[in-house]
Every structure is written in structure tokens, then in C-alpha cells.
Chain A
Amino acid sequence: MNEPLLWILYVVIPVLGFVATALLNWRADRAGR
């Protein structure tokens, strides 16, 4: 079974999603938008 695949699909990608959102929010706050 391809364990790395399962980690990527169910853990890594979701975490990246949150991180990206938080980063973009932080950038928007800094830009004062």
C-alpha cells in the first residue's frame, strides 16, 4: 500500500490549504486592505 500517497492526500494537502489561507490573510491585513 502506498502510505506516502495517503499521507499526502489526507494530511499534507489539507494542512497546506490552511497554511495558504492563513498566509494570504496575514498578507491582506498587512496591506491594510
Chain B
Amino acid sequence: MLTVFALYLVAVFLIGAFAAVSRSRTESGFYVGDRGFGPFATAISAGATDTSGWIFIGAAAFSYTTGVATMWMLPGFIAGYLMNWFVVAPRLRRQGVALDALSLTDYLHKRLHDPVGVLKITAAVVTAVFFIASMAAQLTAAQVTVTTLINFDGTWALILSAGFVIGYCIIGGYASVVWTDVTQGVIMLIVLIGFPAYMIVFKLGGVGEFFGTLEGIDPILVSSTGGTVGALAFGFLLGNIGFGLGEPGQPHIMQRFLSARDDATIRQGSMIAMFWVIVVMTGSNLLGLIGRVVMPDLSNPEYVFPEVSIDVLHPLLAGVILAAVFAAIQSTFSSQVMVATQSIASDILKTLTKTTFDERQMMWISRVTMVTLGAIATVVALSGWKGVFDLVLYSWAGLAAAFGPLLLFCLYGNFVTRQGALAGIIVGPVVVIAWVNSSMVTYVYELVPGVIVSALVVLAVSKLTHDHESAEIGNRLLDSPPNAASTNTSHPTRTDV
């Protein structure tokens, strides 16, 4: 098992290192890979980035305890993906090229008139904070997996996991991240299709008997609302479907759209992406259910997938499982550390110090930032503050509330003012945090009120403030013909921003 896992680690590291060779040594190269990625790389990378260790650890735990009703997340994610790939991606890519935006934060800064950089800094801080939470969650998921499968010290498992990923990110930047994502995505797909199919068909008596057994263990496992009724059921369904609402506005996913080669890439990528989300959500749901049948009395359901794997599978296959879980973790962790680094090194630091750094200095600042962020995430994870499931959802909701509605309004309208944007970016996450810490969270997932309030605040504050410059930029972007901005320059010359 360890041999297989070790082979996976070596392969990923080599892929990351080779990817480094082909990219340009500019900020554009480091952060968006020179915008040269085609549909397969864009879609699988977006999917793998999106799908973190949460899918194997957190989501599986959710379906372990709550049953088939957690599949209600799927229509929400389908809607979210459709929104991302058809409503957000084409415009974001084009406007990103027109504005030479290297990140979501950069896009907002250039799309809206933000001379002092307050918007940029605020957006960057919000991104960094929530990403640290999510990165800590990934490391916790790594710890759960490793300590279950092999006799390895939990603390070291965490530290080494962080170190490994930071390693290939430092070497290759965004291109390394994307190509390792693709590798990791393929492994995840194989496991998420193969494992449930094998277990249900060969070990658990086929589909009919499988669901029958589940019903026998606890009828709520096959109920439509996970055993909740009335208002709680409504909240349960709304929250489940609401997860997918968080898709637009997630900075690490938006990065994939900014780096896509052209419009055709986006269109072709959408089918691959839809295949991805359906397979992954269904697969993880079945993982949890299978776990409940095989091991109905686990004290911590987050351990279900690794526990079942060692119990049921040949050690070589368990090694593949270990690799797949790490693939999920690392693909998300790497993307988030990239974007968080960019937020701090490129967005906050450059704006605050107003110094012009040359490319080599920026690379070094970026690398130091990356290591620091990895260290902070490791400390948060070691503190054991929250479980994987909760931390990821929290981060997801916070970022969705901060950026989702705002991004949509900026892409399609010209009415958003700098002040409106700032209000949304601050109020959205505040609502999320307040909701989580109140009793309301038992009724509805915190993303729903966060997004709704954020949207209203952006609209209201924009209406009440004046910002002609932002409106002009908006008009210019909305008026330009669709294909005018889609030419890709392979090595854009970057004068300092």
C-alpha cells in the first residue's frame, strides 16, 4: 500500500516540476500559466480544485449519517456548475483578458475604479482568511486518512502533507498546480466510479439489496429529507440545494476561467465539468452509504472511507485509495495556497507598499508567502478547532457570500459602485459568521442568508452611491463585441500595475 502511495507522490511531484519548465517566468506565467489551458485541463483542474478532501471525508460522513437525502446537493451543484460555465466563465474570461486580470481580486480591482486599492486589499484579506480555514480542513482530512491507513504520527502526517504540496507549488506555480490537478482528478474519478461499483455489485448484493439493507439499518437513510420534517425539512432541502449556489465567486475556481485559452475551451470544458460533478457527488454519496452498511457503528463518521478501505480491500488497492484521497486534498490545497499567495503577495503587498518589485523579487516574495500560509494552515489544523466538514462549508459560504453576487453584477451590469462592492465583500462574510454562531444554522446552511443579504447590500449601496468611473469601465466592457477581447497573447508584456 505504501509503495503505491509513494509512487503517486513521486509522479505528482515530477509532473509539477516538469510543468515549471514550460511556463514563462513572469507573474502572468506564475499565476495564470500564460492563459494557455485547453478544455480538458481547465475542466478537470476546476473540478479537482473544487472537489477537495471534503468529498471523501466530509461528504461521505454526511451521507453516512443522513442517507440518500444528501443527494439533494447534486441538483444544487448542477445548477451551480451551469451558472459557472455558461453565465460566469465566458464573460469572466473575456473581461479578464481585456483588463489583464490575474485573479478574481485583480478583476474586481480593475473592473471597478479602485485607485487607492481598498477594494483590492479587502477582497484579498477575505480570500486569504477563508482559504486558510479551508486549507486547514484539507490538512485535517489528510491526517484522518493517513492515521487510519498507516501507523503514522498524526502531527507529522499533517506537516509533511503541507510541505509536499507547498514544494511543488513553489517550483512551478499555477502550471504545476493545474497539471497535478489533472493527474489527481483522473485518479479521483477512477476511485469514485470503481469503488462504489465494485462494492455494491460484488460485495453488497446489488443495487436493490443494498438499499434494502440501508433501510433495515435505519429508515431515515432512504427517506427524502433525512428524517427531518416540517420547517426543519424545508431548511434541510434548501441548505442542501444551496451548496451549489456557492460555485460562482469561489476565487480558486474563477482562476480556472481566467486562465482558459479561449471561448471554445470554456464550451468544451462544460460537458467534462458536468460529467465530473455528477460522478463525484454520486460517488461520494455512495461511499458514505456503503460505509454505513459495512461499518454501521463508527464513532466518527469522517473516518468511514479510510476505515472501509483497509477493512475490505487488498493493500495495493488501499494504496490507490490513499492516493486518491490525497489527490483530492492536494489539488484543492495547492490551488488555494496559490490564490491566497497571490492575494497577499501581489494584491495586498504591492498595493500597500507602492514599491515596484521586479519579477525575481516578486517570485521570492510569493514563495515566502506560500510557506508562511502553509505554516499558518498547519497550526490551525493542529489546533483541532473544527472538523473537516464544518470548516470547508464555512469557507465555501464565506467566499460565496463575499464574491458571488458581486461578480455576477459586475459581469452583466454597469451599476455596481466601488462602495457597493466593498459593502458586499464585508457584509456577506459577516452574515455567514454570525449565522454559524447562532441557532439559525440548525435550520438552514449559512450560505443561503449570506448570499441573499450580500446581493441586497451590493444593490442597495450601489444605488445610493455615485461612481462614474466604474460605470464607464462597465460600459466599455459590455459594449465591446464578444470576440474582440478573446485573442490570446502568449507572453503578455507586463508593465507594473
Q: State in angstroms the CA–CA spacing of A22 and B85 once bound together.
A: 12
- Which residue on A lies nearest to B78, using beta carbons? A17
- CB of B270 within 8 A of CB of A9, answer no
Instruction: Provide the bound-state CA to CA distance between A16 and B274, in Å.
Output: 11
Report how many residues on chain B are interfacial, defined by Cβ distance under 8 Å: 27
Within 8 A of A (CB), among B233-260: none
CB–CB B278/A17 < 8 A: yes
Query: B122 within 8 Å of A by Cβ?
Result: no
Cα A1 to Cα B72 with chains together (Å): 18
| Given A1-B215, A18-B274, A33 contacting B90 (CB threshold 8 A) | yes
Q: Are B78 and A13 in contact (CB under 8 A)?
A: yes
What residues of B have a CB within 8 angstroms of the CB of A20 in the complex? 78, 82
Contact status A33-B482, CB under 8 Å: yes
Residues in A whose Cβ lies below 8 Å from that of B86: 24, 28
Contact between A21 and B68, CB atoms less than 8 A apart: no
In the complex formed, the residue of A with least CB distance to B82 is A20
- Expressed in whole angstroms, the Cα–Cα distance for A29 and B86 within the complex equals 12
**Beta-carbon contacts of B191-214 to A below 8 Å, as 1s and 0s?**
000000000000000000001100
Known: A6-B222, A33-B263. A21 touches B271 (CB 8 A): yes
Q: Using Cβ atoms and an 8 Å threshold, which residues of chain A touch B90?
A: 28, 33
- Bits for A1-33, please: 1 = Cβ < 8 Å to B, else 0: 110011001100110111011101100110001
Known contacts: A2-B224, A24-B86, A28-B267. The answer to whether A9 contacts B72 by CB under 8 A is yes
Task: Quote the shortest CB–CB distance from A18 to chain B (angstroms).
Answer: 6
Chain A contacts for B274, CB-based, 8 A: 17-18, 21
Closest chain-A Cβ to B265's Cβ sits at a distance in Å of 13
State whether the Cβ of B228 lies closer than 8 Å to any Cβ in chain A.
no
Q: Is the CB of A16 within 8 A of B78?
A: yes
Shortest CB-to-CB span from A24 to chain B, Å, is 5
Interface residues in B425-453 by Cβ distance below 8 A to A read none
Q: How far is the CB of A5 from chain B (nearest CB, A)?
A: 5
Residues of B within 8 A of A22 (CB): 271
* B270-283 vs A, Cβ < 8 Å mask (1 yes, 0 no): 11001101100010
- The residues of B that contact A5 with a CB separation of less than 8 Å are 68, 222, 224
B6 to chain A, nearest CB (A): 36
Whether the Cβ atoms of A10 and B71 lie closer than 8 Å is yes
Interface membership of B227, Cβ < 8 A: no
Tell me if A13 and B215 are in contact (CB < 8 A). no
Q: Which of B268-303 contact A (CB under 8 A)?
A: 270-271, 274-275, 277-278, 282
Contact of B222 among A1, A24, A25 (CB under 8 A): A1
> Is residue B223 within 8 Å, beta carbon to beta carbon, of the partner chain?
yes
Is there an interface contact between A24 and B78, defined as CB atoms closer than 8 Å?
A: no
Sample of 16 further A-B pairs with CB below 8 A, known A1-B212, A2-B224, A21-B274: A1-B211, A1-B215, A5-B222, A5-B224, A9-B74, A13-B74, A14-B74, A14-B278, A14-B282, A17-B78, A17-B81, A17-B277, A18-B275, A20-B82, A21-B85, A25-B270
List 27 A-B residue pairs with CB atoms under 8 Å apart, sorted by A's residue number.
A1-B215, A2-B224, A5-B224, A6-B68, A6-B211, A6-B222, A9-B68, A9-B71, A10-B282, A13-B71, A14-B74, A14-B278, A16-B78, A17-B74, A17-B75, A17-B78, A17-B81, A17-B274, A17-B277, A18-B271, A18-B278, A21-B270, A21-B274, A24-B82, A25-B267, A25-B270, A29-B267
